[in-house]
Amino acid sequence: MNNRAFLNIDGSFGEGGGAILRLSSAFSVLYRRSINITNIRANRPKKGLRMQHLKGLLTLSELTNSHLSDCDVGSSTITFIPKTELKERVKVEISTAGSIGLLLQPIQIACLGFTQPEHIEIFINGGGTFGKWAPSLNYLKQVTYKVFKNHGYNIEIEILKHGFYPKGGANVKCTLYPPKSKLKPIDLTELGVIEKIQGDICATNHLKSANVGERIKKSIINQLKQVVDIEVNVSYGYVDSISPGVGLSLWAQSDTGAIISTGTILGEKKLTSEQLGKRAAKELIKYLRNDIPVDNYLSDQIIPFMAFVKESSRIKVLEITNHTRTNLDLVKLFTNRNYKILKKDDYFIIEYS
């Protein structure tokens, strides 16, 4: 354990949201650095820790046997002292529709720095598989975790029951395999050739009678066929869930190993199924038209991976999002790795040398 002085982090800098908590605690474990975070979510209407942030911190500290200072909903300061031992399994109970994808984010980052145990199982009861401003588990399975696997880090998700806002109620098993061999650097600067566009529409049984899945699928295909000559394979399904809802993702894998996606798109009361499908198609088309191999939602998630791997990594993105900037700025606090952002006419290159 590195006994250097605590790293003090102002939780209000940058976007000043929950991402600073998740990333800082993850980097604390990954780089074996004790941290003290103040001014937590100071710029938000509801300041301090929310329940989903607290649950994430408690789960990470339990999994890694780390020390988390006494804190509760509303706390504006926390101290986190990392340890170097992982448990093989933990169980998490979530009483809200808090995002499971965001709960897993610091865990997936922290486990990059371990080689034991053979695998880690996380059983989650409750929470949301879909939620606003958060990656759905379908997106993680089809995009983020596939890119990770291509570079030596395997994470598997089993969705036993979906959960939507406002009641959640999901049931999920996540299995992480700490990397045993050297991780491969990421070099995604060319989109390459795409032969197929895929998609998954998940709607609850509350919406089955309105044929929501079928209508969204038809709208997606009609919109895409007007713009691109690529095979489209979109599936839909209806699931049991406490709260009604619909969520979807489109993605496309190329011969360069790139996987671009729409990210997670959620149904809204003011949007028809046809409008939702059109929105999804347009989101994917913007990456295809601009030859972008890393979508806005993946870029921030792979920055920690790029920074941790010692060899040079490069990605080409359409824009530098606030989440990506937060990742870059926080990594810089924990490591000596330098990054560059190269601005081109209609894209950016992010590089760790």
Integer Cα distance of 86 and 94 in angstroms: 21
How far is Cα of residue 286 from the mean position of the Cα atoms in its chain? 21
Surface-to-core class of residue 319, CB atoms within 10 Å of its CB (0-12 exposed, 13-18 middle, 19+ buried):
exposed
DSSP 124-173: EEEEESS-TTS--HHHIIIIIHHHHHHTT-EEEEEEEE--BTTTB--EEE
Amino acid identity of residue 106, one-letter, is P
Burial profile 19-37: b = 16 or more Cβ within 10 angstroms, e = fewer:
bbbbbbbbbbbbbbbbbbb
> Is 162 a catalytic site residue?
no
Q: Provide φ and ψ at 35, rounded to 5°.
A: -135, 155
Block residue for tokens 């933990």: 90
Integer Cα distance of 9 and 196 in angstroms: 44
Using CA atoms, how far residue 28 sits from 57, 68, 187, in Å, is 12, 11, 26
Integer Cα distance of 117 and 323 in angstroms: 30
Q: Which residues are catalytic?
A: 323
